[in-house]
Structure formats: C-alpha cells, structure tokens
Amino acid sequence: MTVLAPSRPSGRLLPGRLPQRFLPVIATFAVFVITFGVGSFRYEGFFSGQVVANLFVDNAFLIVLAVGMTFVILTGGIDLSVGAVAALSTMIAAATLEAGWPPWLAVLTVLASGSTLGLLMGLVIHYFGVQPFIVTLAGMFLARGLCFLISVESVSIQDPVFRDLATSTISLPGDIVVTWSVVIALLTVAVAVYVLHLTRFGRTVYAVGGSESSARLMGLATSRAKVGVYMVSGFCSALGGLLFSLYMLSGYGLHAVGMELDVIAAVVIGGTVLAGGFGYVAGSVAGVLVLGTVQTLISFEGTLSSWWTKIVIGVLLLAFIMLQRLIVRQPSAAR
C-alpha cells in the first residue's frame, strides 16, 4: 500500500510563469499596497515616506517576534509564550538596570533568559512528546508569573544608555527618520533569511514541517531542528522585549498581553502555513506591515473604536487561511 505524504503548496507555475509558492506572499504585499492606497486616497498626508517608516518604528518589536514565530510554525509547531517572554524581558531589563547593572550585562541576561526558556520548552516538546500548544501555554503562564515576582508595578528605565538609544534617530533621504530599533529588526530579518535559505539548519526546518519522517529518513537532524526553533523563538522574544522596553522605556508584567495572537496573525497573513513546511520571513514582515497599516487607518479615522482593528485582522486572517487551503488542495486535485 502506498502512503502519500501530506500535501504542501507546490512549486508548479501559475499562468504567467509565477511559482505557486509565492502566491500567499504576493497576496499579502497586495493587501498592504491596497490598504495603504486606501489611506492615501482618503487622508491627507497619509501617502508619505515617513508614514511608511513609522510602520517599522512602531512595529519593530513585532517584526522580531514574527521572525521567531515563523521558525516555529514552519515546523508545524506553535509558540504561545512570545508575548509573556517579551514582557519578562522588559522586566528583567528594567530591574537589572535599576539595580545598577551595566547595560551590556542586562542585555545579555535578557537574551540568555529568553533563549533558555525557549530551549527548555523545545526539549519538553520533543523528548516528552507533549503538544506545543500545551507546553508553550505553560511557558506563557510561567513567564507572566515571573514578571510579577520581580515587581507588580511598572519599573521605569532611567539608564542613560538605554534612553539615548531609545531617543536617537537615523535620518534618511527625503526627511525620513527611523530609530535604531528598526535597524535591529531589519538585521534580524536578514539573518533569519540567511539561516532559513542558506544553511543546513534552515533546510531541515522546512523538511521537518513538510514531513518529519521523510526528513529523518534522509538523515537530517530533525531533533536539533525541532528543539532549535523554540530556542530561536525564545531569543527573538527576548530581543523583541528589549526593543519593546526601548519603545516604552519601562518594564511591566502586563506589557504585551495578547501580543502572541497578533504575532501568529501576522505570520499566517504573511503566508506561512500553520501545518508547517511552507512560508517566508519576508511574508511575515509584510503581515506585520498589514496589521500596522490597519491600525494606522483606524488612528487616522479618529471616530472608530480601536476594536475595529481586531475585527479587520480577524477577517484578513480567515481570508488568508482559506487561501492557504485552496493552494494546498489544488496540487492534490491535479493528481
């Protein structure tokens, strides 16, 4: 009896010689262009380079979190702890700086804490066979609880190095200004693209998401990849938390509540298939930009409740999941 592996979006060409695997990413960029175009047509001053730059400035931490989540979802997993780990990172950074630690030591402590928590969750998921949903849910509660062990109140960051980094800007042509957080976020994206597409680890991540048993038969280090993606997600959550602490200049246990859902939505809207094996970091970045554009439109409108952002995101998420299902089914129907 022949056993067929789960279908994945294929690389066959669509009319016009467009590889089918690029369709979700192109659709995401199209939605971004359309929503930005609607804002440009409706609101004066919306169509400007600074508005685009502000999308990156206001969502730099979300881009970094989305990078880590992309690694996890590519293997068919999920990480519900990213928002809580980001909040814990803000608390560790604020508390250590308040205690007089050097900024570099505080940063290293934050990154090590997030990476260690991600590594532990990955080990439990792989070696004990527990569902990622349950393990990362436990990690979410653990990280959020640790925040309040540090302090139940908001802790302001007064360190001059952190404050200078938070307020410093980079001037670009056309009177466009961005922050250093944007540079860090884009460097993270570049490193992630390199790792996923030009290293053995990245190829193994895609292979595990496509068919773990087949990847194992090919001699790939599937165990290392399954554990490693959660460590990557933990590192990105910690780095995203550092960027969020720069954005807010404070640490607080209630920072980033529900942010894990925004991250998952951005990654899925960006074209990464929840079943794993298919997706691109560039698509996740585009998904973050779409969410940021929707929030900006609501802000420019002024008369709409912020809950409309959630409604629009929900509609977009459902639409992109349906698009993913159509892409997955088409190759199967053609057999």
pLDDT number for residue 326: 72
Whether residue 238 is predicted with pLDDT greater than 50 in this model: the reply is yes
Domain parsing of the chain, residue ranges: 19-40+48-328
Is 233 in contact with 80 (CB distance < 8 Å)? no
pLDDT number for residue 333: 46
Is 114 in contact with 239 (CB distance < 8 Å)? yes
pLDDT number for residue 311: 85
Whether residue 335 is predicted with pLDDT greater than 50 in this model: the reply is no
Q: In whole angstroms, what is the distance from residue 309 CA to residue 297 CA? A: 9
pLDDT number for residue 140: 97
Is 85 in contact with 114 (CB distance < 8 Å)? yes
Cβ count within 10 A of residue 214: 13
Query: Would you put residue 35 in left (φ > 0), alpha (ψ -120 to 50) or beta?
Result: alpha
pLDDT number for residue 22: 76
Q: In whole angstroms, what is the distance from residue 145 CA to residue 148 CA? A: 5
Model pTM greater than 0.85? yes
pLDDT number for residue 17: 60
Q: Give percent of the chain above pLDDT 90.
A: 66
Whole-number mean pLDDT of the chain? 88
Mean pLDDT calculated for residue range 278-293: 93
pLDDT number for residue 328: 58
pLDDT number for residue 153: 94
**Token representation of residue 87:** 């909040």
**Token representation of residue 70:** 């992309």
pLDDT number for residue 6: 44
User: Coil, strand or helix: which one is 172?
Assistant: strand
Q: Which residue has the higher pLDDT, 92 or 212?
A: 92
pLDDT band of 239, cuts 50, 70, 90: very high
Fold of 19-40+48-328: ABC transporter involved in vitamin B12 uptake, BtuC (1.10.3470)
List the one residue out of 326, 290, 322, 294 whose CA is nearest residue 310.
294
pLDDT number for residue 77: 95
pLDDT band of 296, cuts 50, 70, 90: confident
Q: Kindly give, in sequence order, each residue whose CB lies less than 8 Å from that of residue 240, ignoring residues fewer than 6 positions away.
A: 61, 62, 64, 65, 68, 82, 86, 89
Taken in order 157, 158, 161, 165, the sign of the CA dihedral is positive
Is 33 in contact with 209 (CB distance < 8 Å)? no
